[in-house]
Chains A and B, each alone.
Chain A
Amino acid sequence: MTRSRAAVWCVAAALGCLAMPRSLTAHHGTLVSYDRDKAWTAKAVVTEFRYVNPHAQLYFDVKDKDHSGHWSGELLANPAQLIASGWTRKRSTELLKAGTAITVTVAPARAGGMVVLVMRILNDTGEELLGAAAPPGAAPRPVP
């Protein structure tokens, strides 16, 4: 990956997407299973959000002509990482409860099928979910 291409991605991160630090990969290497160059975006409805190890998972339905179906999505983040970004279990599961309308950007599995890597989630007001921002009023962590 070229430096300029990385820079483009990271500018996108600064604008509301998320940036991946060095060497960040799923802990058992699932990133190689997905083709991020073929990412697609669609409106979807959450059927289930699982706040679990080793990776949080999002299940959702899409009804557009190109990607219609029930999808299983892997987030690279695990609960520890989500907590560190301010996305506690309560906050996350409330905002992604079944029936929630979202817009997802995902990378398909290279092998095909109905499993994807979830790269971005927006709610119906355009707010980024499970993103980098701390919740409003989040207290700073204690330091010695």
Chain B
Amino acid sequence: MAVSRTAIALFAVISVAIVVPAAAQDQGRAAGPGQSAGAPPGRGRAAGPGYPKFFDSSMPFQPRDLAGIWTPNGNGFGGGGRCRDCGDRGFSMEFPVFTPAGQAAFDRNVPSYGRAKDSDDAKAHPEEHIGRRRAQPPALGNDTYGSCNPMGMPRAALYPDPVELIVLPDRILQHFQWGYGLRTIWMDGRKLPAPEDIDVARWWGYAVGRWDGNTLVVESTGYDERTWIDHFGYPHSDEMVLQERYTRINYDTIELKMTLTDPKYYAKPWTSETKRMHLLPKTFVQSSGWTGLLEDLCAPANELEFNRLIRDPAGTGKPTEPGEAR
């Protein structure tokens, strides 16, 4: 156990200083109750790395041992944003090159993340692709995730919640906290299905993995076209092949690099920045005195009620639609 108690105690004092540059980078600002970097001291966080620092990164490790709970979150547990060195929630800052069909699909998607469409803020950042500058209220958008459909990949990997990697003899399971989503990466040597052999597209696709040295290389395809690449609404077709390369670079850090190839929608492969996630002790995520991943489920019963009471009136200005009594 490499947690410095002194560092933990310092967290409360220094945490605000951590937030300032992060907020400036990504439109953050004081928002509201529960949205704080200033959680109780004593939870293992320390000033410095911008993520919950529980372990000494220089401790010895097995590079092919990926099992554990890993987080790209600045707070660790989910909710809140990605940590400073984890990369943002977009797939890539590189401008994608669409085919005409890809451009049309991109234009059909109406996301709610990024800079507000036509705002002064959006106009002030021409260096960003328009995909990051076209957000509309979700009541006016068409993100299927807004009604609790699975995120799919790579969007789930970009979401700032923990993921537990469960390693079995013939497969690796990615258990995403948000949505309680489960994705299987088969390590038994099978090949990806050819496009013409895919009977049913999947929200979580079909994925196989292999080791390239100490890098886990995952290739996947067969994704339902209703999932988005990221929350900015970049599309993919049924021909997308996603390659993920996971490398454990030290005791508590995994790096992820991704490339998507989708000739129907993208004129050339699109490559992500390097994303990172950090190891959490399983006792960190805790609710009701119970440790382990939260059941951070997007339940339609909750979501549809929220949409009726809050999301839709806020986005349209219209009164709340009648419904069952709260």
Alpha-carbon distance between A6 and B318 when the two chains are bound, in angstroms: 32
A134 contact set on B, CB distance < 8 A: 39-41
A residues 1-37 touching B (CB-CB < 8 Å): 1-3, 5-7, 9-14, 17-25, 27-34, 36
In the complex, are the beta carbons of B111 and A81 less than 8 A apart?
no
Asked if B262 is an interface residue, CB under 8 A from chain A, the answer is: no
Chain B contact residues: helix, strand, loop or mixed: loop
A22 contact set on B, CB distance < 8 A: 19, 22-23, 25-26, 28, 74, 81-84, 88
Alpha-carbon distance between A57 and B29 when the two chains are bound, in angstroms: 20
Given contacts A1-B121, A30-B138, A72-B320, contact A87 B283 (CB under 8 A): no
Alpha-carbon distance between A86 and B24 when the two chains are bound, in angstroms: 27
Asked if A133 is an interface residue, CB under 8 A from chain B, the answer is: yes
What is the distance, in angstroms, from A72's C-beta to the closest C-beta of chain B? 6
In the complex, are the beta carbons of A141 and B34 less than 8 A apart?
no
Q: How large is the interface on A (under 10, 10 to 19, 20 to 34, 35 or more residues)?
A: 35 or more
Chain A contact residues: helix, strand, loop or mixed: loop
Which residue on A lies nearest to B22, using beta carbons?
A22
In the complex, are the beta carbons of B30 and A86 less than 8 A apart?
no
Which residue on A lies nearest to B177, using beta carbons?
A80
In the complex, are the beta carbons of A20 and B35 less than 8 A apart?
yes
- Max chain A C-beta neighbours (<10 A), residue from B112, B143, B284, B291: B112
In the complex, are the beta carbons of B231 and A29 less than 8 A apart?
yes
In the complex, are the beta carbons of B138 and A19 less than 8 A apart?
no
Given contacts A32-B137, A81-B80, A86-B39, contact A76 B20 (CB under 8 A): no
In the complex, are the beta carbons of B314 and A33 less than 8 A apart?
yes
A residues 86-142 touching B (CB-CB < 8 Å): 86-87, 109-121, 129-134, 138-142
In the complex, are the beta carbons of A115 and B310 less than 8 A apart?
yes
- The tally of residues in B whose CB lies under 8 Å from a CB in A reads 87
In the complex, are the beta carbons of A33 and B315 less than 8 A apart?
yes
Our count of residue pairs bridging A and B at CB distance below 8 angstroms stands at 298
A48 contact set on B, CB distance < 8 A: 326
Given contacts A21-B74, A33-B311, A72-B313, contact A56 B34 (CB under 8 A): yes
Which residue on B lies nearest to A7, using beta carbons?
B20
What is the distance, in angstroms, from A64's C-beta to the closest C-beta of chain B? 21
In the complex, are the beta carbons of A7 and B24 less than 8 A apart?
yes
A14 contact set on B, CB distance < 8 A: 16
Alpha-carbon distance between A119 and B29 when the two chains are bound, in angstroms: 11
Asked if B126 is an interface residue, CB under 8 A from chain A, the answer is: no
Given contacts A78-B79, A120-B33, A141-B44, contact A18 B28 (CB under 8 A): no
What is the distance, in angstroms, from A37's C-beta to the closest C-beta of chain B? 10
Which residue on B lies nearest to A35, using beta carbons?
B116
Given contacts A29-B111, A29-B141, contact A143 B3 (CB under 8 A): yes
A74 contact set on B, CB distance < 8 A: 310, 314
B70 contact set on A, CB distance < 8 A: none
Alpha-carbon distance between A64 and B284 when the two chains are bound, in angstroms: 44
A27 contact set on B, CB distance < 8 A: 79, 178, 298
Given contacts A7-B20, A140-B41, A143-B1, contact A75 B82 (CB under 8 A): no
Alpha-carbon distance between A34 and B314 when the two chains are bound, in angstroms: 7
What is the distance, in angstroms, from A49's C-beta to the closest C-beta of chain B? 11
B77 contact set on A, CB distance < 8 A: 80-81, 84
Interface 1/0 per residue, B217-231 and A, CB below 8 Å:
000000000000001
In the complex, are the beta carbons of A77 and B74 less than 8 A apart?
no
A sample of 13 cross-chain residue pairs with beta-carbon separation below 8 angstroms, ordered by A number, consists of: A3-B20, A20-B28, A21-B35, A30-B137, A33-B139, A36-B29, A80-B287, A81-B75, A111-B316, A113-B314, A115-B320, A141-B286, A143-B1
Binding site for B on A (CB under 8 A): 1-3, 5-7, 9-14, 17-25, 27-34, 36, 48, 50, 52-57, 72, 74-87, 109-121, 129-134, 138-144
Q: A80-B296, A129-B33, A132-B38 are in contact. List 6 more A-B contacts (CB 8 A).
A: A19-B23, A78-B79, A115-B314, A118-B33, A119-B33, A134-B41
